[in-house]
Amino acid sequence: MEPLSLRYPDPAVEVLHPDFLKLRLFNASVERLATGLRWAEGPVWFGDGRYLLVSDIPNDRILRWDDCSGQMSVFRQPSNNANGHARDAQGRLVSCEHLTRRVTRTEHDGRVTVLADRFEGARLNSPNDITLCRRDGAVWFTDPSFGIGGHWEGEPAEQECPHGVYRIDALTGGLTCPIDDLDGPNGLAFSPDESVLYVIESRATPHRLIWAYDHAADGTLSNKRLHVDADGPGALDGMACDVAGNLWCGFGSNGAPGADPAALDGVRVYNPSGQLIGHIHLPERCANVCFGGAKGNRLFMAASHSVYALYVNTTGAVR
């Protein structure tokens, strides 16, 4: 583990609002855990094994970072250009695969079960990010067309479905599409009580947006409303929610002329009211984050070529 700064407090952890002070640990630094990836994505923590899984999409592999040894190794290759991951209530890995355009579950014996690959007869685009509803076991995932646009994160193909947010029913396995009006749906997360679903619209113009939806006990959504407007040249990607309802979002320059990557790359933190309260500066654009570690208070950040971590004074809503 390589701290990016020896100073306390770490100047990379920027307080933008007093609400962030109680989340920042004065004497914790951003650490680089590993590097050498081509596009790091989809981190998920496995506490019983004390390891982190992270996708390296263009290299068609899932990597495993071990908390005991600090070493990175290959968990699965090929991975079908896997992107987002989650863990279900039985401790199984649930993954989004770009190449095969499907959502899969890895059973305890290593077998792979396909949970979804078509909707109303049409092939999915390229499932991107994923989360689970703990109260009913439903799997929610976003399905933009990022993985079928070229050879970098999948294979070129015709788009058969509109960009959507899907729900897989835990009891029936039935697939529904509650959201089909977002351009580039990307990261998604539930509030701590699962009464609200947040979804990032990463291709909204001119801004990058986070939408909030009321989430009913039967899995239906209502009352769509704007939660965050990330006005400016930055781009939102994946996110995680902590136990207090703050959203920790992968963020970075979108390549707009005049944008300063040094000011934008990293993680942006929004309080439950949608106000920007903090920024964790990284030397690379951050795609996605998750909470983990022995106490659940370690933020893991998948950022372009590297994986970073920071201890914070909160824990993830999903443990």
Residue-wise pLDDT for 249-262, tens only, equals: 999 987 778 788 88
Among 40-49, 124-133, 181-190, 197-206, name the one with the lowest average pLDDT: 197-206
* pLDDT value of residue 2: 85
Tell me what pLDDT residue 253 has.
85
Q: So what's the architecture of 2-311 in CATH?
A: 6 Propeller (2.120)
User: Would you place residue 280 in the very low, low, confident or very high pLDDT band (cuts 50, 70, 90)?
Assistant: very high
What's the confidence (pLDDT) of residue 319? 65
Residue 24 phi, psi (nearest 5): -85, 135
Compute the average pLDDT of residues 235-258: 93
Average pLDDT over all residues of the chain = 96
Higher pLDDT, 71 or 205: 71
Contact at 8 Å (CB) between 92 and 75? no
- Please check the confidence at residue 108 and state whether its pLDDT lies above 70: yes
Express as a percent the part of the chain with pLDDT over 70: 100
What's the one-letter identity of residue 189?
A
pTM: 0.97
Please check the confidence at residue 71 and state whether its pLDDT lies above 80.
yes
Q: How confident is the model at residue 233 (pLDDT cuts 50, 70, 90)?
A: confident
Q: Is the pLDDT of residue 61 over 70?
A: yes
Q: Is 264 helix (H, G, I), strand (E, B) or coil?
A: helix
Report yes or no: 204 and 230 within 8 Å, Cβ to Cβ: no
Q: Is the pLDDT of residue 83 over 70?
A: yes
* Banded pLDDT at 278 (limits 50, 70, 90): very high
Cα angle: 8, vertex 240, 72; to 5 degrees = 70
What are 221-224's contacts with CB under 8 Å, separation 24+? 221/178, 221/179, 221/197
Kind of pairing between the strands at 221-230 and 208-215: antiparallel
pLDDT in tens, 134-180: 999 999 999 999 999 999 999 999 999 999 999 999 999 999 999 99
